[in-house]
Each structure stands twice: as structure tokens, then as C-alpha cells.
Amino acid sequence: MAHGIKLVAPAVVPPLDQGFRPAVLADRAFLDEVGKSGQSVPLGIALERNDAALSVYQTKVFAPDAPGVEANLQYVERLVKFLLWQRGGWNITIAGDARTAEHIKQAYAADGIRAFDADLMAGVYEQPFTVENVPYEELPEASEGTVALGGHLEGCRIGFDLGASDRKTSAVLDGEAVFSEEVVWDPKSQADPQYHYEGVVDCIKRAAEHLPHVDAIGGSAAGIYINNRALVASLFRSIPKDQFDAKIKQMFVRIGKEFGVPLVVVNDGEVTALAGAMSLEDGGVLGIAMGSSEAGGYVTLDRNITGWLNELAFCPVDYNPDGPVDEWSGDYGVGSQYFSQQCVARLVPVAGIELDPEMGQPEQLEAVQELMAEGDERARRIMETIGCYLGYAIAHYADFYDLKHVLVLGRVTSGEGGRVIIEGAKGILTQEFPELAEQVSVQIPDETSRRVGQAIAAASLPEL
């Protein structure tokens, strides 16, 4: 049990994490018990974000006088956390059970356990974060709206992808990459905004040398970007807030003006999904990028994007309260600790691999991948563990997205380890969720596309 909700052990236990308790199994067990109780009530969750867009999610919980009512609090708290980072919002409306609504309100108060999330969302949407309760009958109607994004390949374009350990750049001429490169950098530890500005400008100029001229620039990076403004991004976490607001928030708008061409920058997960939709010529694509953290992006069945945040790094996938804690948000069991370099570094000592404690996470990942190439079973168990995590996470994501394809990219998937991760995830779906295994393909592109495909897809973002 965890705060009243029953945890369910997976049929396939990750080799290096005996305590893993998948969110999908706990949620489904809860809903099953609610249904069998004969004492259920409907509950709705509405999340309002920018431009009056509104997401609505409906579920069922125990009635106030039902024996299992205590489980409502944990179930809805984890559900709201997932929805908030999947869809975004500055106002949460809980339609239904007043006690559960009060629990959520306290959690997101200034001194609550989710104060980090409330503060970040207030910054993203530039409005005070609020939680309110209304009768279920007053649940607002959804107002989503989707827009087309990317897929523009004509002309001379530059695409870049900013990661925590390198920045990737491509020069693209009428849809063909004529130049691609990776340049090592260290943005997370740099407090000077000029370092970041010069790094981005440098990669654009290096690509421009391989084109007759530049028509458009597209970019991707971890974080939240709205109208080309950087609102939240781990790459810039060392920059003081006043400097972030003054120099970083409008940095990409400024760079676009300096080069005199259309410039679009979006979350790197969105570009992962876009790359998949473009290569598959299909929709219903969830992109997952495993790099310094986990990035997510989604292209709908009709091949549009939603305006959701898709920040899967903060979405819970493990309900074990003793699971790893995210250093930034202070929450446990969220994606950043399971699908990233951070995860690999966390599992290294558990696997019995001894590395220099001074090594950074990118170097630890490289060391593990070298061991994988040599057939080291300890390294293999790390990748098998991530694959197990991924299988259960995909089943959880499928409860919130209409999925046909899951495309997995990022440095963690390089080499033999990527194949082990994907095969492990497919095995979980086949064994535990056979209906999903039949309808959802889990794919990984070739090595070159995995490492620089993001930048090429990013180049297609601006419309001329």
C-alpha cells in the first residue's frame, strides 16, 4: 500500500529494481476495485492553459462513504500530477468529491508537496496557479484545438537540437541533409547567458557555411517553449532568474531577428514525434527521447500537435514511494529517473559496475555502452531494466494518448543497448498487455537518425 492505494508487483520484475511498482498496474487495480465496489462516483479534472485551451479527463473514484475511499487521495494526486505535466495548465478544476479536491488544493499550495509544480506552471503560463472544486455536473467542456507543425522541407534550412552534453546541427537542402555534426558543450553548469547564446549562434553559423543561403531555422531543446520563448528549461537551470528573464526567455526570438529568417523552437520531444510522423507517414506517434532527461512529444492520429506540454520527465511511472527522487522537483517515481542518463548512472552501482565517482553522467553512459559492446552482463542488466520500465510506461502512456507508434530516440538508445531496451519493452507489452502489443508498434530508428534525426526534423518546423 502507498497512502491507501494498492501497489501491484509486475509480472516481469526489472533485474536491478525489485521494488518497481508500475503506475499502470496500480491505476488499473484501483479502477477495478472501484467498479466492483458498487459504490463509485464520477470525478472530472479540467486543466486550463494558455489561450483559454482546456483539457478534461474523466474517471471514477470511491463514493465518500465507501470502505476504500482513502485510496482516492493517492490515486487522484498521481493522476493530476501526470495530467498537469502531460497537458499543462495554470488552473485545475476538480469536479466532484470535495475531500479529494481539498487534498489536491493543499498539495499544490505554496507549502504543499507539489509546490514546485505549482510554481513552475505559474511561470509557464504567467498567471497564479489555482485549484478549485465544483460539483461534477459543472465540469467544463473540453476546448483543445490542434495545429499542424513541421514537415516543411523546401529551401535551405538549418535545424539544431540542444542537449545537455552536446548540440546537434544539420544543414538541409530541399529535404536532404548536406551537413550534420555534434559539438560537445556543458550548458547545465553555465550561469552566463552569453555562453548559451554564443553556442546556439555558433552551431547555426557552422551549418550555414554548407548552404548557399538560409531560408529558415528550426530548433529543439528540452524544456517548455511557447511562441519561441523559453519559459522552463533544465539546460538553463544555473542561470539566475533575473538573467534568465532578461537574456534567455527571448533569446530565440532575438536570434531569429538577427539572422532575418523565420525561426521556430519547440520542445525536443515534439520534434522526436514529428520525426517519427514524417518517416512513418502516419499519426498517433508518441516520441520519447532518452537523453540527459526524458523528453516526450505527441502527434495526433490526424498528424497534428495538441499544444500539450508532454513533459514526461515529470510524469509518474512508478508508485513505489521509496523509488528514486527527481532532484529538481523533489518527487518520486517520475520519468526523468527511468529513461535518461540519470537512470543509467543510478543503476551503475546496483549492477556492480565500479566507475570513477568523479565521472559525469554522459561519461558513465559511454562507459556502460562500451561494456555493452564487449558483452558485459552487468551493463546488459542495466539496459534490460530500462526496457522493463519502458514496457510498463508505454502501457501507462496509452491510457492518456491515442497510440499507434512509439518512437524512441536519444543517446541512451545508442548501440546494442538500444536494441535491448526496445526488445524488453516489446516483451512486456506482449506478456502483460497483449491488446496493446497488437495495436502499438515500438520502434527505434537507425544509428544516424537516432543521433542527428532530431536536428533534421527541427529544420522542417518553420513555414516559409
Domain co-membership, 157 together with 114: no
> What confidence score (pLDDT) does residue 175 get?
87
Shared-domain flag, residues 98 and 212? no
Count CB atoms within 10 A of the CB of residue 327.
Answer: 9
Identify the pLDDT of residue 226. Answer: 85
pLDDT (0 to 100) of residue 412? 95
Beta carbons of 268 and 276 less than 8 angstroms apart: no
Separation CA 89–CA 127 (nearest Å): 10
Across the beta sheet with 405-409, what order do the strands follow?
Answer: 294-299, 285-290, 405-409, 441-443
Distance CA 12, CA 17 (A): 11
In a shared domain, residues 401 and 298: yes
Whether residues 77 and 179 share a domain: the answer is no
Distances (CA, A) of 239 to 165, 186, 195: 17, 13, 11
Q: Is residue 13 part of a domain?
A: no
Write out the E strands in 84-153. Answer: 91-95, 130-134
Query: Are 94 and 151 members of one domain?
Result: no
Q: Which of 111, 138, 165 is the last residue of a domain?
A: 138
| Whole-number Å distance between alpha carbons of 451 and 415 | 11
The values of phi and psi at residue 274, to 5°, are -60, -45
What pLDDT is recorded for position 144? 87
Report the b/e string of 179-188 with b at 16+ CB within 10 A: bbbbeebebe
Which amino acid, one-letter code, is at 459? A
* Structural domain boundaries enclosing 393: 146-464
Report residue 64 as a C-alpha cell. 465518500
Name the maximum alpha-carbon separation found in the chain: 72
pLDDT of res. 1 = 44
Q: Which of 371, 446, 373, 436 is nearest to 405 (CA)?
A: 436
Give the C-alpha separation, 176 to 170, whole Å: 10
Say what the pLDDT of residue 453 is: 64
Judgement on whether residues 155 and 108 belong to the same structural domain of the protein: no
C-alpha cell belonging to residue 276: 517519427
Q: What is the pLDDT of residue 85?
A: 96
- How many domains are there within the chain? 2
Q: Quick one: 393 and 268 in the same domain?
A: yes
Task: Flag whether 18 is in a domain.
Answer: no
For residues 403 and 425, state if they share a domain.
yes
pLDDT, one tens digit for every residue, the chain (464 residues): 445 799 999 999 999 999 999 999 999 999 999 999 999 999 999 999 987 789 999 999 999 999 999 999 999 999 999 999 999 999 999 999 999 999 999 999 999 999 999 999 998 898 999 999 999 999 999 998 777 778 888 999 999 989 888 898 999 999 889 999 999 998 988 999 999 999 999 999 999 999 999 999 999 887 888 889 998 887 898 999 899 999 999 999 999 999 999 999 988 878 878 877 887 889 999 999 898 889 899 999 988 888 899 999 999 999 999 999 998 899 999 999 999 999 999 999 999 999 998 999 999 999 999 999 999 999 999 999 999 999 999 999 999 999 999 999 888 999 999 999 999 999 999 999 999 999 999 988 765 455 446 677 889 999 98
pTM for the complete prediction? 0.88
Q: Per the domain annotation, does 25 fall within a domain?
A: no
131 and 163: one domain? no
